[in-house]
Amino acid sequence: MKYTVITGASSGIGYETALAFAARGKNLIIVARRLDKLEELKSKIQDSHSDVDVIIRTSDLSDTANSYKLYENLKEYQVETWINNAGLGESSSVSDQSLKKVESMLRLNIESLTILSTLFVRDYSHVEGTQLINVSSALGYATYIGSITYSASKYFVSAFTEGLAKELELKSAKMKAKVLAPAVTETEFEKTAQDVEEFDYKNFMPMYHTAKQMAGFMMELYDNDKVVGIVDESYNFNLRDQIYPILGV
Ligand SMILES: NC(=O)c1ccc[n+]([C@@H]2O[C@H](COP(=O)([O-])OP(=O)(O)OC[C@H]3O[C@@H](n4cnc5c(N)ncnc54)[C@H](OP(=O)(O)O)[C@@H]3O)[C@@H](O)[C@H]2O)c1
């Protein structure tokens, strides 16, 4: 039995990505903090795909020790694909941003993603068919004034994952590393980034994708040999080779 691990599967892009992998008959390990949402997702999957095994793990990945615990706790499973999707935004100027929230964001967006990527690469880079997909953002390629710290955290995700993709290629490893870089997508993201109860994408965003569309792009990236799947300024999905310059090859 092989599994696809998806962090941040309790809502938005991660939730829809879980449904998309399940539709292909892939067994899933779904991770987030909210158990009720993960249980709802599991029963939804099992209603339509009773053959798909779904394992639930709750974890607060903004606590560094929990990333190690989660990985250790999954050692008994054979992982085929690992998707680091859990992420948090912060919409304010640097002078106004909450440092408590920023600390959590950096630990989740950068630290946890790096720990989980490293442990997965260590154990599986020689295994044919394995993939690591890290979710960055269009703001991991262009800085948005008003969310500079979040943008910078996603620059890390993009640079780290693109570099890793090249390192794996140079080592003739079997694993592929890829970056998904969504633009505005209708999820719970803006609510948590802006600390508001509700966010109306229709009224406030001129363009956006649905989470289901973004999961569709995730699957296109999964099926393709390109390293980066990025949403451009016209909201088209582009599959590209590494975007950041690479030295030392
Ligand atoms: N939506 C956008 O416009 C957009 C654009 C570009 C990139 N992205 C990226 O896409 C990814 C998915 O976000 P989304 O848009 O789907 O937002 P979302 O609906 O808010 O989903 C975020 C997911 O991350 C999980 N999560 C948050 N904090 C966590 C923590 N401390 N530990 C474990 N899990 C945690 C949440 O689950 P729990 O709350 O249950 O823990 C949820 O499942 C993120 O990396 C985000 O940066 C989003």
Q: What is the pLDDT of residue 247?
A: 94
Domain assignment present for residue 167? The answer is yes
- Give pLDDT < 50 ranges for the chain: none
Residue 39 token pair: 């249980």
pLDDT tens digits, one per residue of 76-86: 999 999 999 99
CATH number of the domain that residue 101 is part of? 3.40.50.720
Residue 220 half-sphere exposure, CB side, CA atoms within 13 Å? 18
Q: At what angle do helices 99-106 and 148-170 cross, to 10 degrees?
A: 10
Q: Which atom of ligand 1 is nearest to the CA of 211?
A: 16
Domain assignment present for residue 71? The answer is yes
Domain assignment present for residue 34? The answer is yes
Domain assignment present for residue 192? The answer is yes
pLDDT tens digits, one per residue of 174-205: 999 999 999 999 999 999 999 999 999 999 99
Domain assignment present for residue 248? The answer is no
Domain assignment present for residue 66? The answer is yes
- Alpha carbon nearest to ligand 1 atom 44, residue: 87
Asked if residues 6 and 14 have their Cβ atoms less than 8 Å apart, the reply is: yes
Q: How far apart are CA 89 and CA 72, in angstroms?
A: 27
Q: Which atom of ligand 1 is nearest to the CA of 7?
A: 34
Asked if residues 16 and 40 have their Cβ atoms less than 8 Å apart, the reply is: no
Q: What is the pLDDT of residue 116?
A: 99
What separation in Å is there between the alpha carbon of 89 and the centre of ligand 1? 8
What separation in Å is there between the alpha carbon of 120 and the centre of ligand 1? 20
Mutate which of 185, 192, 230 for ligand 1? The one with the most ligand atoms within 8 Å of its CB, which is 185
- Write down the pTM of the prediction: 0.98
Q: Which atom of ligand 1 is nearest to the CA of 34?
A: 40
- Alpha carbon nearest to ligand 1 atom 3, residue: 184
What is the tally of helices (H) and strands (E) in the chain? 9, 10
- Alpha carbon nearest to ligand 1 atom 25, residue: 8
Number of compact structural domains in the chain: 1
Which of 127, 225, 247, 240 minimizes the C-alpha distance to 177?
A: 225
Domain assignment present for residue 50? The answer is yes
Q: Which domain holds residue 111?
A: 2-240
Sequence-distant (≥ 6) Cβ neighbours of residue 191 within 8 angstroms: 197, 198, 199
- Alpha carbon nearest to ligand 1 atom 34, residue: 32
Domain assignment present for residue 102? The answer is yes
Q: How far apart are CA 247 and CA 213, in angstroms?
A: 35
